[in-house]
């Protein structure tokens, strides 16, 4: 029964000049996950680590590096890794679930979400983060339970890696991988393989494995998506095709005029299925980033920290030397007793909701029971979002100084909770 199978489906987008209206790279992602899963937004400062230290990822330990970048992550609260995020080096990464002819290996390894976080913490550019992810993939493999439940569910991953100058699409099948550089214009990925024969770099054994498996005869041009897409793709990959086409159409409608606002409107689009709400699954967190080409200007990363972007507000985060902590979007910690960490895993449920998530849930209920009142509050918040976007536009065009915006994320979360109350 495919309908009870999670359509664990995400959509990632990027616009590079001349696709963007301004001299900015714009990144966006909707994270579509189990409906009740809580996504938190957490900032981790840059850190030095003693040589030889080990790092505890979601399921396995790997050697830590000596220096990690500051990162801001939108992450399912139960795991170590992240669905999407950014580093203080101006790199953004999001991942997507895919299924390929290469079977998903049983057992615990690195989650695709762990690889997102590791790429951000260790890579100073999109290209460097790609090398980080592919090296870790070859060394440790990918796999492990991808949702907070005992029923087995795991997948391979594709990634969109973006910085101020370029984007990379990285698609994987087990430990094998292929990547494509995107230097200009607009590009989106959904839950399917999109790289054909325009390959910029690949795993050295990719083509020989394809030949040895009898998936490719070695004749003519090697086309990754033709060779590695499964013969009977899961229904969710077929549904992703429609969303991929819808996303491509929406991006192309705005080609040459993409801004953060346009990206937010695409992520809020319900008819295309990009803003997802079907059965047990919905968009549980969203992110949009502005990466100005001019390195004198700061990058700005917007997060909802709540489900359903069409009923959520994007709040801007800017890296600064000592950002105000924002505990109201951070989930409670359960330490070694966390059901995600105890063996056997996921035998019980805990309440991972943070303050903003709870307040937003109440507001959504109000919208259902008292639509007028609910809508009034939401419209005020959307006005604040627009005001915020105008201030940021003014800062990026040099009209107001950026130093004043370091506490913006804290202020916006605080204001949103007050309004819901």
Catalytic residues, by residue number, are: 10
| Residue matched to tokens 């979002």 | 385
User: CB neighbours of 15 closer than 8 A, spacing ≥ 6?
Assistant: 25, 26, 185, 186, 251, 254, 255, 258, 263
- Tell me how far apart the alpha carbons of residues 173 and 399 are, in angstroms, rounded to a whole number: 47
User: In whole angstroms, what is the distance from residue 157 CA to residue 31 CA?
Assistant: 13
Angle between helices 112-122 and 126-140 (to 10 degrees): 130
Token pair, residue 412, equals 């916006």
Could you tell me the CA-to-CA distances from 350 to 152, 214, 341, 383, 401 in Å, in that order? 19, 47, 12, 35, 43
**Residue 240: is it exposed, middle or buried by C-beta count within 10 angstroms (0-12/13-18/19+)?**
buried
Which segments within 81-155 are labelled E, that is strand?
84-87, 92-98
Report how far residue 348's alpha carbon sits from residue 357's, in angstroms, rounded to the nearest whole number.
Answer: 21
Phi and psi of 47, rounded to 5°?
Answer: -150, 150
- Rounded Cα–Cα distance for residues 17 and 13 (Å): 14
Q: Tally the residues of the chain.
A: 421
Calpha distance 159→84 (Å, rounded): 10
Q: What is the C-alpha to C-alpha distance for residues 302 and 289, in angstroms, rounded to an integer?
A: 6
Exposure letters 54-70 (e unless 16+ CB within 10 A, then b):
ebebbbbeeebeeebbb
Dist CA 363 CA 373 (whole Å): 10
């Amino acid at each position: 029964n495919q309908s009870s199978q999670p359509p664990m489906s995400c959509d990632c987008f990027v616009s590079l000049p001349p696709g963007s209206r301004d001299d900015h790279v714009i990144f966006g992602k909707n994270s579509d996950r189990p409906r009740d899963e809580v996504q938190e937004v957490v900032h981790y400062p840059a850190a030095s680590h003693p040589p030889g230290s080990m790092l505890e990822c979601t399921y396995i330990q790997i050697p830590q590096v000596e220096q990690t970048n500051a990162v801001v992550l939108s992450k399912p609260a139960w795991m170590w890794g992240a669905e999407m995020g950014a580093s203080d080096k101006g790199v953004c990464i999001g991942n997507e679930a895919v299924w390929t002819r290469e079977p998903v290996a049983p057992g615990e390894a690195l989650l695709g979400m762990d690889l997102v976080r590791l790429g951000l913490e260790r890579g100073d550019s999109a290209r460097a983060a790609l090398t980080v992810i592919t090296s870790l993939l070859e060394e440790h493999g990918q796999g492990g339970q991808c949702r907070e439940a005992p029923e087995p569910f795991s997948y391979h991953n594709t990634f969109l890696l973006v910085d101020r100058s370029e984007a990379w699409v990285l698609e994987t099948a087990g430990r094998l991988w292929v990547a494509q550089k995107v230097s200009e214009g607009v590009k989106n990925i959904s839950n399917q393989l999109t790289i054909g024969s325009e390959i910029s770099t690949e795993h050295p054994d990719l083509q020989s494995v394809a030949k040895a498996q009898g998936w490719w005869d070695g004749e003519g041009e090697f086309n990754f998506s033709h060779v590695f897409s499964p013969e009977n793709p899961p229904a969710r990959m077929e549904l992703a095709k429609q969303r991929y086409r819808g996303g491509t159409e929406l991006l192309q409608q705005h080609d040459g005029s993409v801004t953060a606002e346009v990206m937010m409107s695409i992520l809020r689009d319900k008819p295309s299925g990009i803003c997802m709400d079907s059965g047990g699954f919905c968009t549980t967190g969203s992110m949009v980033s502005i990466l100005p080409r001019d390195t004198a200007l700061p990058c700005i990363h917007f997060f909802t920290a709540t489900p359903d972007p069409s009923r959520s507000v994007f709040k801007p985060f800017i890296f600064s030397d000592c950002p105000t902590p924002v505990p109201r979007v951070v989930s409670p910690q359960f330490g070694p007793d966390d059901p995600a960490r105890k063996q056997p895993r996921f035998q019980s449920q805990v309440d991972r909701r943070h303050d903003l998530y709870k307040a937003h849930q109440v507001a959504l209920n109000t919208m259902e029971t008292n639509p007028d009142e609910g809508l009034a509050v939401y419209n005020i918040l959307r006005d604040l979002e627009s005001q915020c976007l105008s201030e940021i536009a003014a800062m990026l065009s040099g009209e107001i100084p950026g130093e004043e915006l370091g506490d913006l994320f804290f202020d916006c979360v605080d204001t949103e909770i007050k309004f819901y109350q």
